[in-house]
Amino acid sequence: MRTATVEAALPLSESVDAIKESVDRLERMLPKREDTAVLMDFLEDDLREGLDAIAQVESHFHDVVDAMRSDRLHPVSLLEVAEDFRVLNRLEYLMVVVTQMRKRLAQAAGKLRSEGA
């Protein structure tokens, strides 16, 4: 079932270029200042890290499905896949990244608004 995980990962790699293009486009529309460049770097990092966390969470769900479809299904294998606490850490981290991204987008919106005024 690894094929499904690889296929799911392809849009992520394609979206990496979309991230750079989107951030660059937004940066061109904002005032040319050092704090704008820093803000865009942080926003780009947030987008990449958020998508990476989502991919890891998705991979965990594929692992659960694979475990349930296994020919050698045992209680221990189900418990092992259920006890993957890394996915909980990634979900917590995703909440942090989304919060940071929200703040950075609000800052960019404020800069865009003042630039257009």
Size (the chain), residues: 117
Tell me what the mean pLDDT of segment 22-32 comes to.
94
Whole-prediction pTM value?
A: 0.77
pLDDT in tens, 3-19: 344 344 445 556 668 99
Residue found by looking up tokens 């750079």 in the block: 20
pLDDT score for 12: 56
Three state DSSP letters for 35-52: HHHHHHHHHHHHHHHHHH
Q: 112, 43 in Cβ contact below 8 A?
A: no
pLDDT at 1 over 50: no
92 is in which domain, residue-wise? 2-116
* CA 8 to each of CA 1, 3, 20, 47, 61: distance values in angstroms, whole numbers, following the listed order: 11, 8, 20, 17, 12
What is the tally of structural domains in the chain? 1
Give the best-scoring range by mean pLDDT among 39-43, 72-76, 80-84, 111-115: 39-43
